[in-house]
Amino acid sequence: MDDLRDKYLGQIAEAADEAALEELRVAAVGKKGEVSLKMRELGKMTPEERQVAGPKLNALKDEINSALAAKKVALEDAALDARLAEEWLDVTLPSRERPRGTIHPVSQVTEEVTAILADMGFAVAEGPQIESDWYNFDALNIPSHHPARTEMDTFYMARATGDNRPPHVLRTHTSPVQIRSMQEHGAPIRIICPGRVYRADYDQTHTPMFHQVEGLAIDKDISMANLKWVLEEFFSAYFGTKVKTRFRASHFPFTEPSAEVDIQCSFEGGQVKVGEGDGWLEVLGSGMVHPKVLEAGGIDPAEWQGFAFGMGIDRMAMLKYGIPDLRAFFDSDLRWLRHYGFSALQVPTLHGGL
């Protein structure tokens, strides 16, 4: 029995891994293990012999089992230590750089403009970018022979010969959304519509796709004075400084009377600064909605009246953030986007000064 004890305790101490340990367990105390076989022999012994050998064998079995268990824990600990030694991580190292995008100035300014006008009670409306020529022109009192149709350098959708659907265009302004909103909601109504518009034009201040925001307010007693107040409040909130405006009599088919609006600015060293100096910069078109436009929108001009305005969003971004060339807005040049883009966390709010 002592031989068995020495043999197994010695081998258990030497076991290199859990598999070797398991083999030893089977060989010693498994069903057909050496110790188990010895225990079976107890039956053949005399009671006196059994009384001596029984407890000894049981003690040996216990001893081997606890040696196996202890070695198992020791092997596991050693394995863990080895892993810990190998798989270490220096948490003080700088992290790997991850690609990070920016918010495009057009998106940022759209948010800013929307926040200011929403605060004044305007809801956001949207319309399709591919528009029928009725919504884009006729309903806005621009009949087919009207020069405004050609002045706007319109993109027409191709039509197969024999396709008799009414002509469609890439909308040349956001004004058709006035008609759609009036038809959908009736009066009174107060909406703005920011969105993409298209004209065949390309130079430093024109791109074939650009952005406008349309405004429309219809009620029983809305006047030009309300328009002026809304725009002055808007410009001051947007530029963060009191901005003087100048209303110049103008002409648009969809408004009567019509006004183009200039904002006060200085031009020094090729830089435009809004809200100072004695220069003027034209930034939008506006007026009192023409009775024919109200009618096209399903609203009775004898009962309702209101103002509308249309403004270039890209232009507003260039002025506020000092961006010189419009074409670069849509070049997708990462250097430009990183320079003029905004952090996703910089959400424009009125209380944050936008």
Nearer to ligand DAH, 137 or 340 (CB): 137
- CA distances (Å), origin 273, targets 9, 246, 253, 320: 91, 16, 32, 8
Instruction: Please report, as residue ranges, which positions from 216 to 245 form the binding site for ligand DAH (by CB under 6 A).
Output: none
Closest distance to ligand DAH from the beta carbon of 290 (Å)? 9
Tell which one of 33, 127, 285, 348 touches ligand DAH (CB under 6 A).
285
Nearer to ligand DAH, 15 or 148 (CB): 148
Tell which one of 310, 317, 329, 354 touches ligand DAH (CB under 6 A).
310
Instruction: Please report, as residue ranges, which positions from 111 to 170 form the binding site for ligand DAH (by CB under 6 A).
Output: none
- Cα–Cα distance, 207 to 326 (Å, whole number): 7
The interface region with ligand DAH, picked from 7-15, 228-236, 307-315, 344-352 by CB under 6 A, is 307-315
- CA distances (Å), origin 68, targets 21, 56, 140: 7, 18, 93
The interface region with ligand DAH, picked from 35-43, 232-240, 267-275, 282-290 by CB under 6 A, is 282-290
- CA distances (Å), origin 171, targets 208, 247, 297: 11, 26, 17
Q: Count interface residues toward ligand DAH (CB under 6 A).
A: 12
Residue 260: count other Cβ atoms within 10 Å of its Cβ.
Answer: 17
Closest distance to ligand DAH from the beta carbon of 121 (Å)? 18
- Cα–Cα distance, 317 to 283 (Å, whole number): 12
Closest distance to ligand DAH from the beta carbon of 308 (Å)? 3
Tell which one of 111, 138, 214, 314 touches ligand DAH (CB under 6 A).
214
Tell which one of 286, 294, 306, 315 touches ligand DAH (CB under 6 A).
286
**Main-chain dihedrals φ then ψ at residue 191, nearest 5 degrees:** -135, 160
- CA distances (Å), origin 306, targets 189, 225, 255, 286: 9, 11, 10, 11
Q: What is the dihedral of CA 24, 29, 31, 33, to 10 degrees?
A: 60
Nearer to ligand DAH, 33 or 176 (CB): 176
Nearer to ligand DAH, 102 or 181 (CB): 181
Instruction: Please report, as residue ranges, which positions from 244 to 263 form the binding site for ligand DAH (by CB under 6 A).
Output: 252, 254-255
Q: What is the dihedral of CA 295, 296, 299, 301, to 10 degrees?
A: -20
Asked if 287 touches ligand DAH (CB under 6 A), the answer is yes
Residue tagged 């078109």 (tokens): 285
Nearer to ligand DAH, 57 or 197 (CB): 197
Residue tagged 């130079």 (tokens): 203
Regarding beta strands 189-198 and 123-124, do their DSSP bridges make them parallel or antiparallel, or are they unpaired?
A: parallel
Closest distance to ligand DAH from the beta carbon of 324 (Å)? 22
Closest distance to ligand DAH from the beta carbon of 236 (Å)? 21
The interface region with ligand DAH, picked from 187-195, 225-233, 308-316, 326-334 by CB under 6 A, is 308-316
- Cα–Cα distance, 117 to 288 (Å, whole number): 18
Binding-site ranges for ligand DAH (CB under 6 A): 173, 175, 214, 252, 254-255, 285-287, 308-310
